[in-house]
Amino acid sequence: YIWANPAVRGIASSQSNITDLAGSVIAWVVIFSAAWVPYAIYFLILNIKNKSFSKIATSKTGKYWLFTILMGIGFWGSLIFFSKAADVIGGDLAPTIAWPLFMVFIILTSNFWSWKSGEWRDAGSRAMKRMTISLALFVAAIIVFSYSSSLQPKNPATPDDHHHDVKYKFLKHDNYPSYRFKR
């Protein structure tokens, strides 16, 4: 994603006159459309093997359909938020900052819902202490990554000398940016 997305976003923006955010989301559509095929085949085989197609539309499955739709909205919504965060951070390397933040928020969200549903109710004090320390470290990671995204210059070719003590030169190599200190 990090290597291909700038190219996909650029092509989509220039050919279709769409925003960078929409161009970033297109990459996810391509990735997950390809990933959907083996899952669809696997569940089709399972439904045939277990003869469970008739259970899909029974009268008591409505709430499961609702939960499935909500999970789909949550899944795509989180990817759109990730793409927007990478777009706000800016630059081709923005996903390297946004992706760890995205993963931490997934972990924090899942732990919140597991706590809310009572999954941790019978956990011992040692497990709860480790969980609390882990969550605190994740929150600290969010702060560090968020701060690090503000350190990236807006235009690497001409750094803002008032905010950066180090002089550096922006290089493009194989369509992947890298930085080298000036001598």
pLDDT, tens digit, 9 for 90 and up, residues 80-92: 888 888 888 777 6
What gap in Å lies between CA 1 and CA 7, rounded to an integer? 10
Beta carbons within 8 Å of 160's beta carbon, 6+ residues apart: 153, 154
What gap in Å lies between CA 153 and CA 18, rounded to an integer? 25
What gap in Å lies between CA 178 and CA 37, rounded to an integer? 36
> Does residue 176 carry a pLDDT above 70?
no
Phi, psi of 177 (to 5 degrees): -70, 145
pTM of model > 0.85: no
Q: Is 110 exposed, middle or buried (0-12, 13-18, 19+ CB in 10 A)?
A: exposed
